[in-house]
A and B are shown apart, each in its own frame.
Chain A
Amino acid sequence: MTLFWLVVLPIITALIGYLSHYKRIFILIGIAQLCTVGVAIVTFIQVILYGPMTQALGDYEGSIGINLVADPISSFFVVLTCFLFTAMLLFNYHKSYMNRLFLFLFLTLQGLIIAIFLSNDLFDIYTLLEVSTVVVSILIMYKRDSQSIYDGMVYLLTNLVSMAFFLFGLGYVYKIFGTLDLTAIKAAIPYVENTDTLILPYVFLITAISLKSAIMPLFSWLPRAHGTPSAPSIVSAVLSGIFVKGGVYLFIRFQDTFAMGLDTSYIFILIGFATAVIGFVFALSQTDLKLLLAYSTVSQIGLIVFGLSLESDYSYYGAVYHIMNHAVFKATLFLTAGMIIEEYETRDIRKIKGVFKRMPFIAIITVIAIMGITGAPLFNGSVSKSLIQKGISYQSYLEYGLIFINLGTIITYIKYATILTGDHKKGHRVRWNQKVALSILAFACVLGGLLGQWFVGILFDLNITLSFTDLINKSLVYLVSILIGYTFYKYWYPKIHFFKTIWEVELSFNEIIFSIVFFFGSFLSYLLIIY
C-alpha cells in the first residue's frame, strides 16, 4: 500500500491543514511532511533491494485497471521531490504569505508531482497534468499583482491547449491498442503491422510533452512562468527544480514506449542541441536575475534531451542523473536569488554589486551551486556531464557540441557571478531556518559529486571509475573553459550588439499557439515523409 500513500498523504495533509483552525498546524504539517519523506525513502530502499513494485488501484490487475509503478528511477525522483518540498517549507515557514491556502496548494502540488512520477496510465497522467496546471497557475499569481496575473493566464491557457493535443492523441492510442496502460502499449507496439498508424497519436502526444518539458520552439511560456517578478521564490524553485522535470520524465517514458515503432532519437539530438544553444543565448542577454536563471533552465533541459537521445547507455543515464542534479542546484540558485532580490530591492544584475561583502553566507551557497551547474570537478554537475560525454567520446562532432553547450553555461554563470564581487558595507543576517535549508541543499550538491559513482552504480547499475589523472584532466579543461568564458565575457560580449536586441523578445499568446501548431505540423509532415 505504500505507493498509494505517497500520493495521498500530502493531499490529506493539505486538506486537514486547510480546514482546521488549530494555530500550530504548521508543526503537524511538518510531521506529516517528514512521514512522507520517510515513506518515500523506505519505498526507494525496497525497490533497490527487491526490484520494481507495481500496485493496482481498485484491485483490477494487469492492464485493465490503473497501476502505480515504482522503478529505481521513478522512486528516486519521488525521494527528490519530497526532499525539495521539505527544504522549501523549512526555508519559507516564517513568511507572511505562507497561510493555509498557500500551504494547501503547495502540498497538493507535491502529491500531484509524485503521482506523475509513479503513474503508469495515460488518462491518469492527463488528469494529473491538468490539475497541476491549474494549481501551478494559481501559485504563480498568488501575490495578485498585475504582471503575474498575465503570466499565470498565459501559462494556464498554453498548457490547456497542449493538454487538448494530449487528449486527442490519447484517443488515437485507445483506438489502436484498446488500453491506456503504458507497459501494455509498449508490449503491443512491435505487433503493429503498419507503423504509419502510430504517427498521428505519437505526434499529438509528443507535442504536448514537448511543451510541458519546454524544448525548442515551445519554451517561451517557461521563463515567464518561472521567472515572473512577484511569484514567491519557493514557487519558482519548485517549478524550475522539479515540476518541469515531470515533463522531461514523461518524455523519457514516451520515447521508451514508442521506441520500437517509431525511432525519432536523432531528430531530438538536433532539437536538444538547438534548445540548449538558444537557451543560453537568451540567458546571456537578460539583465533580470530571475529571468536569467529561467532561461538557463531551458538551456539545461536542452542538454538533458540531447543526452537522452544519444543512444548510448552512459549518455542516457548521465542525462537522467543530470535531471536530478539540476533539480538541486537550480532550486538553490532560485532561493538565493530570491533572498538577494529581497535584500537589494532590485532585480537588475547591473545594479547588484558586492554580495560577498553584504551577504557572505548567501554568496558561498551561490558559488557552490554555480560550481555544480557549470560542472566543476568534484561537484554533482561534473559527474552527470562527464557521463554524457563518455557515451559520445568516439563521435568528435557531438563531443564538440557538448563542450560548446557547457561553455555557454559557464559564460552565463560568469555573468551571474558578477553580482558577487564589488564593494559593499552593510552586513546581513540570515534566519536560522533559511540557513539550515540552504546548507542542506548546498551539501546535496557536494554529496552528489563526491558520492556520484556510488549513486550511479545503485540507480542505473553502471560502473564508472574515476582515476586521479582523469580528475587532473577535467580540472584543466574546466579551468581553460573558465578562462575562455571570462575572456569572452570581458572583451567580446559588450561589443556584440545582438545580445542587447533580443533580451525583450516576447511572444504573444497567438504566437505561442502558432509555435505549437508549427511544431506539430512540421513534426507530422517529417515523420510522414520518412516512414
Chain B
Amino acid sequence: MEKIFNGESISILLFLIGVYGLLARRNIIKTVIALAIMQSAIILFFLTINYEDGRIPPIGDVTIHTAVDPVPQALMITAIVIGVAVTAVSLTMFISLYHHYGTTNWLKVINKRRED
C-alpha cells in the first residue's frame, strides 16, 4: 500500500485535479486556483524525486552518501517564487477584467466582448 501512495502518484493525481478544474470550471478565480493546485503538484513531485528513507537534509557538514539531492529543492524554491509572482499578475489582470465586464465567467466575458 505504501508503494502505491508515494509522492509521484499523489502528485499526478493532484495535477489531474488541477487539469479538471481548468477544463470544467468557467469561473476565472477557480481557473487561477486550479493553476495553483497544478503548481503544488509539481512541487511535491520534484521534492519526492529519488526519495529514499533515512536520508538527511543537505545542510551543514554531511557526507554525500547520506544527504538527499539538493538540486530539486533549489529548483523548487525558484518555482515557488515564480508561482507566487505569476498568481499575483493573473489576479491583478482579473481585477482589471472584472472592472471592464463585471463578471467572473469566461463565457459571459466572451459574449459581452462580442457585443462591443
Contacts and interface: CB of A to CB of B under 8 A. Distances in A.
A519 to B, nearest CB: 13
Contacts of A149: 93, 96-97, 100
Dominant secondary structure of chain B at its interface with chain A: helix
Interface in A35-65: none
B4 interface: no
B11 to A, nearest CB: 8
Interface residues of A, number: 32
Interface residues of B, number: 42
A123 B38 contact: no
B31 A509 contact: yes
A508 B79 contact: no
B62 interface: no
A168 B94 contact: no
Contacts of A14: none
A247 to B, nearest CB: 18
Interface stretch (A235-243, A258-266, A296-304, A510-518): A510-518
Given A127-B82, A147-B113, A147-B116, A137 B19 contact: no
A153 interface: yes
A137 B93 contact: yes
A150 B109 contact: yes
A506 B15 CA distance: 27
Given A150-B109, A164-B35, A506-B110, A123 B78 contact: yes
A174 B109 CA distance: 40
Given A147-B116, A160-B35, A153 B97 contact: yes
Nearest to A520: B19
Contact of A146 (B71, B75, B85, B113): B113
A514 B106 CA distance: 14
Nearest to A122: B75
B23 interface: yes
Interface in B75-111: 75, 78-79, 82, 85-86, 89-90, 93-94, 96-97, 100-101, 106-107, 109-110
Contact of A513 (B22, B78, B113): B22
The 5 residue pairs across chains A and B that have the minimum distance between CB atoms: A146-B100, A164-B38, A513-B22, A509-B106, A175-B49
Interface of A: 123, 127, 130-131, 134, 137-138, 141, 144, 146-147, 149-150, 152-153, 156-157, 160-161, 164, 167-168, 171, 174-175, 506, 508-510, 513-514, 517
